[in-house]
Amino acid sequence: MPCLNDILNEINALNVTQPNAVDVVRKAKIKKLNEYTERNVICYYSGWLSVEGKPVPNLSIDDMDKNGFMNTIEGLDCSLGLDLILHTPGGSITAAESLVYYLRAKFGKDIRVIVPQMAMSAGTMIACSAKEIIMGHQSCIGPFDPFVKGVSAFAVFEEFKRATEEIQTHPHTLPLWQVMIQKYPPAFLEECEKAIELATSIVPKWLSSSMLSDQEPADQDANIKSIMENLNNPGQTKEHSRHIHADKAISLGLNVVMMESDQNLQDLVLSLHHAYMATFLNTNTAKIIESHHDRSLILKYA
């Protein structure tokens, strides 16, 4: 299996004759994966890891992504199903919800999500909508407790709850809490409540209608409860960026297939992943949405 250095060397060797070698190598890797699986392949990749800490736009899941998926799906035989290669820090819950609706409208429930490295937050929600998640030992998903304007919705609720309790027992703390609560805009608590309700409502529906649809009702309910209590609960996960690896994801009740169970698939997926990482390392690319039939939306930054 080629490692990142091997892919970089392959690109450097091609650069002598082809200035767009990163694109040539990456597209060849996508095509090889498609030829092996005989399924449609769409890659959704964010370059957030290579620009961490910099103010780069277009790194997160947003409504612009729909245009990328519409572009890549044009011309595909949707009856062949979809393998969605997902590498993202997350983003908008409503954008993720709309993407899942669109992908299901095109491919039905024959969607596999492959996580070569990281599919966090709203990316994990998208993964939960698939019939199965393919992960390797290096892969991780993450909690999807919602954030509103960059703030944990659950944390806001906890802060308001604590303020109420302390003011009741220690009235002299009222001026301090007034200052602290004023940092939130009007109706912010209501926004947070609606975000929590949305995340809590859509993921169970996706799980029950696809990934867990073949389970007995009692088993399905137990698994959904386990998944929600562990992935939509900062009291359990402690940190929104917590990495949930394959063994933990399986124990929660998610249908995870280990990448290592098919060595050829693992080699093809990770070679493709390294090709994307090489693209982000060598170019000013923020996001790529790309299919095996040479359609792509590539967003760059200055």
Domains of the chain: 4-142+243-300 (3.90.226), 146-237 (no CATH)
Which residue ranges in the chain fall short of pLDDT 70?
none
pLDDT reported for residue 165:
84
Phi/psi region, residue 164 (left: phi>0; alpha: psi -120 to 50; beta: rest), is: alpha
pLDDT reported for residue 188:
82
Q: Could you tell me if 292 and 41 are in contact, meaning their C-beta atoms sit under 8 angstroms apart?
A: yes
pLDDT reported for residue 19:
83
Please, which residues have CB within 8 angstroms of residue 221's CB and are 6 or more apart in sequence?
none
Give 136's Cβ-side CA count (13 Å radius). 18
Cα distance between residue 274 and residue 3, in whole Å: 7
pLDDT reported for residue 24:
96
Cα distance between residue 216 and residue 153, in whole Å: 33
pLDDT reported for residue 56:
94
